[in-house]
Chain A
Amino acid sequence: MSRLQLVKSLFRDSSNIKLLTQVSNAPAQDLKNMRQAVKQNAGGSREDLRDKLKLMAQERRESISSLNDAWVAQMGNGAYAFREKMALFWHNHFACRSRAVSFIQQQNNTLRTHALGKFGDLLMAVSKDAAMLQFLNNQQNRKHSPNENFAREVMELFTLGRGQYTEQDIKEAARAFTGWGFNINGEFVFRENFHDDGLKTIFGKSGNYIGEDVIEMLLANPKTALHISTKIYRAFVNEKVDDAHVTAMAKRFYHSQYDIADLMQYVFTSDWFYHSINIGAQIKSPVEYLSGLQRTFNLNFVDKTPVLYTQKILGQVLFNPPNVAGWPGGKAWIDSSSLLSRLQLPSVLFRNETINISVKESGDVNEEKLVRKNKFEININWQDFAHSFESIPDSVLCKTLASYLLQVPINDATIKRIENKVSAPERTETVKQLCISLMSTLEYQVC
């Protein structure tokens, strides 16, 4: 298959959209409302109240975990992998937290649906999304008492990038977004009473602008195409940006009316995408690490504990970005502790070795205190896996597995040591042990 054909088939496969449906779309309530509701209904003792709240917090934790598990599983499924990778990119771009699990699911499905569509549609949908409106306080953005949070982030992080607007632009844009809110079902509502319909001056133009006008202005500015292209380049090609490549991407993106699929196809079919300088140029994010494991070994996490545990000790929990700017990524994934954890994980996951790394508590009483679980059960069909390497002579088995598992070359001396270390009576076990060792290398951490 030619490169172009391959990329085309990738996009064809990715046309399937599988929405997450773990959480019922029952009206979402934040904890404050829950507390009030419980107080009114309980009518009983403090203990009753406490127990009910505990139960609710636990239910929330469980449903957010199941959402997390389901997403990770879907990322590991080849047919959906690319769309899910894009959805993860947008989750980082439109980084958001919410207490309401149904809002989280809804937003996540929005990202998935538009992941390869038009960026303008995606931006509009996310801007009108309950979780985002809540996260960036637009529910409180009202005529006479504007809240600028959303207006600032939509410019700084979602579209133009820093330095492309004035403080006055933010103030005036915030007025245009007044009245944008959501109801308890997570539906967008325009609350006309709260909207400031006066004259606004944004980016040097004046009019009685509404929120949709501002979104349109942001899309009309080519700086948005440049900002998004830069982020895509950093996430999919190389953290070190090549100005010429990004400028070309931005130009194409802008002229295609922000067609994301077209942009990605352009990237994947460009010669520079395959230059050795761009292979293995990134440090795997913890979530990519997990989804990579699944794809490589076709494994399912039967016991779901390691899914969240791995995210926590490596520093990336889905639906919990550190702030609206998303995860810093790249080298920031790595410090002494997270690196040692990465080197230990393959043995822990596949060799049932004991792990003794405790997870930091966030301080939030409603957050899950992850029980320190010492061993995980993971089922991989090593026989099937080894079968694919049946015809490989023993002498080059380790090298062959290395080139399958690693994106960058590894020193022959390391291969030698791994070969010497592994001594198993039969082939399947040898393959397994070699894989575990190869995944415990520094080279395995890049993609």
Chain B
Amino acid sequence: MKRRTFLKKTAFTTAGSLLIPQFLKAYEQKHFGQKPLNDKILVVIQLSGGNDGLNTVVPFRNDIYYRERPSIAINQNNVLRLNDEIAFNPALEKIKELYDNGLVSVINNVGYPNPDRSHFRSMDIWQTGSSSEEYLSSGWIGRYLDAQCIGQSCLPHQALEIDDTLSLALKGQQVNGLSLQNPEKLYRQTQSTFVKTLTDIPAADNHDNVAYLYKTLAETVSSAEYVHTKAKVNKSRMMYPTTELGKSLNTIAELITSGVSTSVYYVSLSGFDTHIRQNDQQDRLLRQYAEAVNVFVNDMKANSRLDDVMVLTFSEFGRRVKQNASSGTDHGTANNVFLIGGPKRTRSILNEAPDLTNLDNGDLKYSIDFREIYATLLDDWLHTDSTKILTQKFNKLPLF
């Protein structure tokens, strides 16, 4: 409270500091408790490096698949069948469990026109929600924040990445999301006496950029305090795997069940760039993914929050149909996307399996633009207007 009074006093004595009322408001809101943007939560899991979709959701009855991948195709006898055509990689056993309970949607052949096979560019496209011909400097979740914050002050923690640095996906034009490895660490960073000095004393300069720096720091400190205090409310009772992803999802679960007003969480799992000896590597990563997500979903269920929490999993591209000479795969195009959690679905496999007879230069053709998924999530899950966030109008999918 002391600081608030101090800020109030100084705010109006500082000439030219346009920022003060806004960041003061941020402090106010923190104290009065802030409502989440809405009651639904989206958790995005990014598989970095280009996960091989064909060995994730396996076309186990397809001769072409086995012919093109003599040393890496997943044995028909080991797969976890979803229907007569496709099956999960056995490493996804824990996802299959959720699938059997009607908690998983598989969307096949997701991509975009004129696909780019560079990690950087394709990730850029997925994170910004652009077409391959346009370059956006803000991310789709960042613009979601922008759209929610018009006319009212907004705090970075409403979109939260579990990492030390912030991805482009969470950078808006007006508002940026917040990134933290865990609430404690961020809190410590913002509690140094020096950072306090910087937030206590207003700027003597009235440049727009200086004001922006002061505002960002004030919001960061405020968000860090808020998240840190809130996160203590509820500790997880589930046993999460000790992997990075397990720890991150544990943190997210605690924030959700503690009632932190974050609408979108973002987390990445890296290592899917399997040019050499793919199977060991992919198996290990998919298992890590499946185990962590399984515990997370059960945790949400145990806390009666599963109806409000949806997990989107994507990778920047799939890989070529034909394996390479090193028992790996090279960069490809269309890929599958998973949606896990939320209300039980009646339809678990949204669309047709990949057509291996109809390729574009050895690569899968997309039939669903990834931005159709974004648009559906924005409109029907996060209840906002997707046309304000994506640069054009996209078809909606019957996802839930």
Contacts and interface: CB of A to CB of B under 8 A. Distances in A.
Given A46-B326, A332-B137, A335-B171, A359 B195 contact: no
Interface stretch (A318-326, A379-387, A389-397): A318-326
A328 B130 CA distance: 15
A280 interface: yes
A50 B276 contact: yes
Interface string A109-145: 0000000000000000000000000000000000000
A363 B273 contact: yes
A41 to B, nearest CB: 13
Contact of B217 (A46, A331, A332, A442): A442
B135 to A, nearest CB: 4
B205 interface: yes
Contact of B48 (A50, A363, A418): A363
Interface string A395-422: 0000000000000111111100110010
A337 B177 CA distance: 10
Nearest to B132: A149
Interface string B258-293: 000000000010111111110000000000000000
B204 A340 contact: no
A339 B213 contact: yes
A49 interface: yes
A305 interface: no
A409 B207 CA distance: 10
A280 B326 CA distance: 53
Contacts of B197: 414, 417-418
Of A325, A338, A365, A366, most buried by chain B (CB within 10 Å of CB) is A365
A440 interface: yes
Contacts of B276: 49-50, 53, 365
A313 B165 contact: yes
B179 interface: yes
A365 B208 CA distance: 41
Interface in A339-372: 339-341, 343-344, 356-366
Interface in B106-145: 118-121, 123-124, 133, 135, 137
Given A339-B220, A414-B198, A359 B165 contact: yes
A24 interface: no
A409 B326 contact: no
Given A365-B49, A413-B201, A417-B201, A340 B220 contact: yes
A363 B179 contact: no
Interface string A67-98: 00000000000000000000000000000010
A408 B210 contact: yes
Contacts of B156: 335-336
Nearest to A342: B213
A282 B137 CA distance: 18
Given A332-B137, A363-B119, A445 B213 contact: yes
Given A442-B198, A442-B217, A332 B207 contact: no
A152 B134 CA distance: 11
B326 A49 contact: yes
A215 B214 CA distance: 45
Nearest to A364: B119
B147 interface: no
Contact of A414 (B118, B190, B201, B270): B201
B301 to A, nearest CB: 31
Interface string A154-172: 0000000000000000000
A357 B178 contact: no
B213 A334 contact: yes
Contacts, number: 176
A414 B210 CA distance: 15
Interface size class of A (residues with CB under 8 A): 35 or more
B123 A360 contact: no
B210 A340 contact: no
A25 to B, nearest CB: 25
Contacts of B164: 313, 337, 357-360
A362 B194 CA distance: 33
Interface in A405-447: 408-414, 417-418, 421, 437, 440-443, 445-446
Contacts of A239: 209
Nearest to B181: A358
Interface in B37-81: 48-50
B168 interface: yes
Of A239, A281, A442, most buried by chain B (CB within 10 Å of CB) is A442
A283 interface: yes
Interface string A207-244: 00000000000000000000000000000000110000
Given A340-B189, A358-B164, A39 B325 contact: yes
A366 B276 CA distance: 11
A408 B49 contact: no
Given A50-B326, A334-B216, A340-B190, A361 B48 contact: yes
A323 B179 contact: no
Of A337, A362, A363, A418, most buried by chain B (CB within 10 Å of CB) is A363
A196 B274 CA distance: 39
B176 interface: yes
Contacts of A61: none
A337 B186 CA distance: 9
A337 B181 CA distance: 10
Contacts of A334: 176, 212-213, 216
A77 B90 CA distance: 57
A361 B245 CA distance: 14
Nearest to B174: A331
A410 B223 contact: no
Contact of A322 (B124, B203, B210, B316): B124
A315 interface: yes
A344 B189 CA distance: 9
Contacts of B177: 335
A334 B164 CA distance: 14
A360 B202 contact: no
B327 interface: yes
Nearest to B224: A336
Interface of B: 48-50, 118-121, 123-124, 133, 135, 137, 156, 163-168, 171, 176-179, 181, 185-186, 189-190, 193-195, 197-198, 201-205, 207-210, 212-214, 216-217, 219-220, 223, 268, 270-277, 316, 324-327
Given A280-B205, A336-B220, A408-B204, 9 more contacts: A46-B277, A332-B171, A336-B223, A343-B198, A361-B268, A362-B119, A362-B123, A362-B270, A363-B316
25 contacts: A49-B276, A50-B277, A97-B118, A280-B207, A281-B207, A283-B209, A283-B213, A323-B135, A334-B176, A334-B213, A336-B178, A338-B166, A339-B217, A344-B189, A360-B268, A362-B48, A362-B119, A362-B270, A363-B316, A364-B49, A411-B202, A421-B193, A421-B194, A442-B210, A442-B213
Interface of A: 35, 39, 46, 49-50, 53, 97, 152, 239-240, 277, 280-283, 313, 315, 320, 322-325, 328, 330-332, 334-341, 343-344, 356-366, 408-414, 417-418, 421, 437, 440-443, 445-446
